[in-house]
Amino acid sequence: MLDRIFNYDNVVFRTIMKIGYIWWLNILWVIFSLPVVTIGASTTALLYSCMKLKKEEGYCTKNFLKSFKENFKQSTVIFLLFVLVGALLAVNLVFWNQTGGTVGKTVKMFVIAMMVPYFLDLLYVFAVQARFVNTVKRTIQYAFVLSVKNFVWTFQMAIIMAVMVYLNFTWLVANYISLSVGVGVVAYFMCAYYNRIFAPYIEAAEEKTEEEE
């Protein structure tokens, strides 16, 4: 009986180990996000590591560091672009909301409409960056296309993110949970979607590479 309990292939033992890996990836994400400007690169690395962890491929720390290094420049550019666009949208929303009147209401609704593709793209862009090699422009374009093409799954992911954001803004304890393990847990669940969505494209790319060889 003891052999079954402490066996590495035991379901309980493997689950505990996986939780430990997720916790460690969360810690790495926090540490590498501390300069703030590196949040894009650390998020890309976290998602890449979680997608690999889902498939039980490689080692968590090695996967994280590898992805962080390889995607640092491009992920940082993407992050800064989204921060800039997000700030512009937020400022415009506040301004036109205070302006009032027909014009103010019309422009406010336009700004809100623009926020929809912004958030849809944000759900995918760092995951796309983690798994595919493209220019910044194409990465952003592909992220949006995938979000629309897989809208049912996108909607489910949006709900997960919305719940996380809401809890962090309304419940102080949620901030501690998120920083200690919550971000990693959410990323791990999100990667179940990403692996499914990306699988056909990764397989097609691999087949094309094999044909060229």
Q: Helix 136-149 vs helix 60-99: angle between axes, to the nearest 10 degrees?
A: 80
C-alpha distance from residue 117 to each of 154, 181, 194, 196 (Å)? 12, 29, 18, 22
Six token digits for residue 175: 């901030």
- Residue 178: DSSP 8-state: I
First to last CA, the chain: 51
Q: What is the pLDDT of residues 17-27, one digit of tens each?
A: 999 999 999 99
pLDDT given at position 99: 85
pLDDT given at position 209: 57
Q: What is the pLDDT of residues 132-153, one digit of tens each?
A: 999 999 999 999 999 999 999 9
d(CA 175, CA 164): 10
Answer whether 105's CB lies under 8 Å from 140's CB: no
pLDDT at 180 over 50: yes
pLDDT given at position 188: 96
d(CA 79, CA 125): 9
Confidence of residue 100 (pLDDT cuts 50, 70, 90): confident
Span of 31-35, 47-51, 168-172 with lowest mean pLDDT: 168-172
Answer whether 25's CB lies under 8 Å from 163's CB: no
Residue 188 sits at the vertex; the CA angle it makes with 185 and 193, to the nearest 5 degrees, is 135
Burial class (CB in 10 A: 0-12, 13-18, 19+), 133: exposed
pLDDT given at position 9: 66
Q: 171 or 12: whose pLDDT is higher?
A: 171
d(CA 15, CA 46): 19
Looking at the chain, the whole-number percentage of residues with pLDDT higher than 90 is 77
